[in-house]
Amino acid sequence: MKAPEIDAAIERIEGGDRQPLYLVIGEQVLATREATRIAEALAAAAGCDVAVHKGAAGAELGSILADLFTFSLFEPAKVALVVASAELADRDAAADLIDEAAAILGDDYGLGGVAGAGLSTAERRAAGPLLQTLRVFGIDPASGAAEEAIAALPESALAGGKSQRKGGRRGRPKKERVQLAKGLSALLEAARAEDLTGWSTSNLAELDRASGGGLPEGHALVFAERSVDRKHPLVSRLLGRKSAFEVGELGLDRSGKATGLDPVLAELERETGVQIDRAAAQELARRTLRKEGWGAGEADEASAARFAAEYRKIAAGMPEGGRRIDRATVEESVVDRGEQDVWDVFNAMDAQKPGAAVAALRRYFDSAADRKGERFRFLSLLAGRCQQLAAVHGLAMAHGLPEARNYNGFKARVLPKLMADWPGATKKPSPWPLFNLYKAAMARRSPEAVAAMGELPWKVLETEIRLRGGSGEEDAALEALVLAVAGGGPPGRRAG
């Protein structure tokens, strides 16, 4: 797989138009491949080798940057390729520079010296990260009023970085941000008076310095990253300069089907020499990928990395002469820990398919990063749903409400009655979810089902007690509750 934009960038490099900093964003196998092409073109033009650094972050990346800023006695230039550092994944990284300055200024963020006496040594140190932060956001520290320059910084920079977000804090409150802005304005004004140009030694500051042409002639740095925040100030600048490129990522659509597979598969096939059937690729994606958030979107980084790792593992274990991965091989080789939507569990319960509901529940927990925390989250969701289902069922039985085969009939004949008599202690769902609850309630009209609905609140309480008691049978307790809602027998039974 080759990206036309990267082909054009390589042509520019070969023609003498070289940038000091490049970034390739996308699925790690794709980003690494394309970033390698850029780095090799830079190295060929400069007459040196490519130094590859995997997972370099923090102090290790700082050492790489420090080395890039110095000339070599033995090579004409240096080209470094940094793979999967996640250094550009946090748009609020610049806030750490402001925190560095704020910590030196002290609690009241004021200058400590006598007016007109100049900055102290500590205050000069504080001016460095402030001036660098302004440059990161494209603000000229020497232009306009100092207050206007500080006001041009995003609120997130003044709210604070990691040090201000510990223990559940969301950064500095507004009143403190106002006070900090005043202190930084005074610091900037004093720094201008003393003609300071100060630099910070943080990785972000050094990267910004590199992107601004601070590296020696022929020296360059190339990043290959899966985790990047597109709103990071440095990333935004590189995208604007056409020295950052996006090459695609794995994702999941609303139905749970994998997207973005073709370029990733092509690269893995090229890398391993082993092909994969289309059905096998979808099954591998189903067993490994998990969503970053709700709805359609990109797969989270860890699960995307697992997809590639499992592919490589299967390819490495292929027998002599076996050059194609089939679905059966994936099913035998890969543990199923892929995306499982909690609504699949609820839908199976509503349809009175206990076996399918429990199978979906087990897969849901198997895919959870924090199984214990996910148990309580699921119980909370299910308890609310049980409360709503019991309320709808009770109203339907008490008033002898009619069946509703479609949403329009439900909206005209049933919804007004449910809305009028809905119990105040139970949160009222919106019309469409209420229609689905109503269909589930109307399927539970036998004497046995009516009795089971009446017992639901007690079963929820019993399940919570079992979960909090640490009996070691927490999954079994939740499965029993799911079966009770779905109308099944004991957890071991595989009905439906």
Residue ending a domain, choose from 185, 200, 215: 200
Does residue 494 lie in a domain region? no
pTM of the complete model? 0.67
Does residue 321 lie in a domain region? yes
Does residue 283 lie in a domain region? yes
Same domain, 77 and 114: no
**Total structural domains within the chain:** 4
Contacts of 132 (CB under 8 A, 6+ apart): 97, 198, 199, 200, 202, 204, 205, 208, 209
Query: Look-up: residue for tokens 């009905």?
Result: 495
Does residue 492 lie in a domain region? no
Residues with pLDDT less than 50, the chain: 1, 114-115, 489-496
Does residue 361 lie in a domain region? yes
- Least Cα distance to 428 among 395, 388, 383 occurs for 388
- Predicted local confidence at residue 9, as pLDDT: 93
Q: What is the CA radius of gyration of the chain?
A: 30
Same domain, 83 and 210: yes
Same domain, 225 and 196: no
CATH number at residue 57: 3.40.50.300
Contacts of 426 (CB under 8 A, 6+ apart): 387, 388, 391
Does residue 493 lie in a domain region? no
Same domain, 231 and 288: no
**How would DSSP label each residue in 380-436?**
HHHHHHHHHHHHHHHHHHHHTPPP-SSHHHHHHHTHHHHHHH--TTSPPPPHHHHHH
First to last CA, the chain: 45
The helix or strand, by DSSP H or E, that contains position 81, with its residue range, turns out to be: strand 79-83
The first and second tokens of residue 166, run together, are 């510990």
CB 214, CB 135: distance < 8 Å: no
- Model pLDDT for residues 199-249, shown as the tens digit of each residue: 666 788 888 888 888 889 889 999 999 988 888 888 988 998 889 999 989
- Model pLDDT for residues 374-423, shown as the tens digit of each residue: 888 888 888 888 888 888 888 888 888 888 878 888 888 888 888 888 87
CB 274, CB 315: distance < 8 Å: yes
Contacts of 273 (CB under 8 A, 6+ apart): 315, 323
Same domain, 355 and 463: yes
Same domain, 292 and 241: no
Same domain, 226 and 286: no
Same domain, 473 and 352: yes
Does residue 15 lie in a domain region? yes
CA 488 to chain centre: 37
Residue ending a domain, choose from 333, 350, 382: 333
Same domain, 131 and 162: yes
Same domain, 46 and 149: no
Q: Whole domain around residue 196: which residue ranges? A: 93-200
Same domain, 455 and 350: yes
- Predicted local confidence at residue 114, as pLDDT: 42
In sequence order, the β-bridge partners of residue 223 are 23, 82
Q: In Å, how far are 35, 139, 299 from 292, measured between CA atoms?
A: 24, 33, 5
Does residue 376 lie in a domain region? yes
Same domain, 273 and 329: yes
- Predicted local confidence at residue 341, as pLDDT: 66
Burial class (CB in 10 A: 0-12, 13-18, 19+), 405: exposed
CATH number at residue 263: 1.10.8
Residue ending a domain, choose from 333, 353, 382: 333
